[in-house]
Every structure is written in C-alpha cells, then in structure tokens.
Amino acid sequence: MSGEVHTSAEYIRHHLQNLTYGQLPDGSWGIAQSPEQAKEMGFWALHLDTLGFSIGLGVFFLYIFRRVAKQATAGVPGGLQNFAEWIVEFIEDSVKGSFSGRNPLIAPLAFTIFLWIFLMNFMDLIAVDFLPQLATMAGIPYLKVVPTTDPNATFGMAFGVFFLILYYSIKIKGIGGFFGELAFQPFGKWGLPVNLLLEGVNLIAKPISLALRLFGNMYAGEMIFILIAIMYSGGLVLGTFGGLLQVGWAIFHILIITLQAFIFMTLTIVYLDMAHQEHH
C-alpha cells in the first residue's frame, strides 16, 4: 500500500476509510487527505467510492440483463440467458411464497434488490490491496471498494424500502386505517399509549434492521480479509497460513454475500406484504 502506511493500525484505518468529498477547513471543497479531514466535513460529505461503485454496478447489472433480454431466443438458450432465466424464476418463486397481494412492482423490486446487493457484496472477494493500490498509484488517497460496508449505502436502500412501506400502507388502508393500526393494535383502544409505543418501535425497527444487518455482516467480512492480509507481512510461515485462511474464508464468504442479499430481498417482500394487509 501507500508508503505512508507503516503499522497494522494505519493499514486497517487506510482500508476502512472512504474517499470523502466535502468542505475543507479553509472553506474550499475537495477530497479529504486524512480521516480527520473526512470527519470534519460532517454530514453533507459525499463518499465518492461508495457512490461510484454502487452506481457503476447498478449500470453493469442493467446492461447485462438488457442485453440478455434483447438477445433472448425461444430455442435452446445460451449460458447467460439460461442463468438469467434461472434468476428470474428464483425471484418469482420467492415473491409468490412471501407476498400474498397483487402488485406488479414487487417482483422487479425484489429482482433489483437481490442482484444489486449481491454485486456490491461480491466486491468483497476482490483482493483487499488490488484496487486501493491502483488508486494510490493514481494519486487517490483512499478507496473503499465494497459499498455495503458503508452504512450510508445500506441505510439509503433501507430507507427506500421504508418509504415504500409507508406509501403502500397509506394507499391500501388509508391514513385512518394506517394510524388506526398504530393506535389500536394489538391491545385495542384502551391500550392506545402502549400500542403506539410497540407499533411505533416495530415500524421504525424495520429499516434499521435491514440496514444494520447488511452493513454489520459485510463490514465484519471485510475486516477479516484485512486482518488476513496483514498476516502476509509476518514471514513465510504466517503468510502461508494467511493464504490458506484467505482461501477458506473467501469460499465461505460466497455463501455470506449471497445470503445477505437474499435476506434483504426477502425481508423487503415480507414488509411490503404486511403493508398490503388490512387488519379489521
């Protein structure tokens, strides 16, 4: 990595720091050259690496499936078309099993969420030093390549789902019906304060649980890869052991990145199904 990174602590901090753009202490706008500068930029700073990789992977996903759709044939499908059809069928089965209402948005939304999150998670399988090293050579001080290790990304997606929950809850049940559920469930009108507390916490917990579950698992996985990478500087024996650990963790991590995308998608479907259900 960068010649300025000497200790294990500095190495870890370097890999966990986002490429941050915001207002510098002198009043100008630019890229933070240290974690301290990034912290001083405050809430309105932009994480350019998170935005770049997440948008880029979204465009890549759209391009691939648009290409498959344009080249689809009724005959014997090619490998890519066969894979795309398998993914579509898998998503359709998941929606049918978890969503009891009728809404043409749910299946495309689930399809997009699963594949987009999977691609962002998949970046965790790229060697931890590869892209940051290229960035350093290009004069870029930091580069965090896994968007889902940034809580800004996971909370952004979770709040998007939360707004859909609120929208369909009000659209299906009406404002009165929606607030009636919050006020009168589960203990009826005499338990109104307790109902509001319980249902309010339950409602707010949905986006928080979505965001933190994805962020926590991916952040922990990235940290383990970074710690394993440090072992390569500990000599031949420790480096060899680190290499074996890396292979084993990478194989296991394939399950994790897929499972986290699936959980986020499934919970989104379930929450939207709950938003479509009327309670009398």
- Active-site residue numbers? 209, 213, 217
Angle at 196 between CA 190 and CA 201, to 5 degrees: 145
Contact 2, 136 (CB under 8 A): yes
Which contiguous run of DSSP H or E holds residue 30? strand 29-31
Alpha helices in 41-105 (DSSP H): 48-70, 79-98
In angstroms, the CA 174 to CA 176 distance is 5
Asked if 228 and 246 count as a contact pair (C-beta separation under 8 A), the reply is yes
Report the C-alpha gap between 107 and 90 in whole angstroms: 11
The answer to whether 15 and 224 are in contact (CB under 8 A) is no
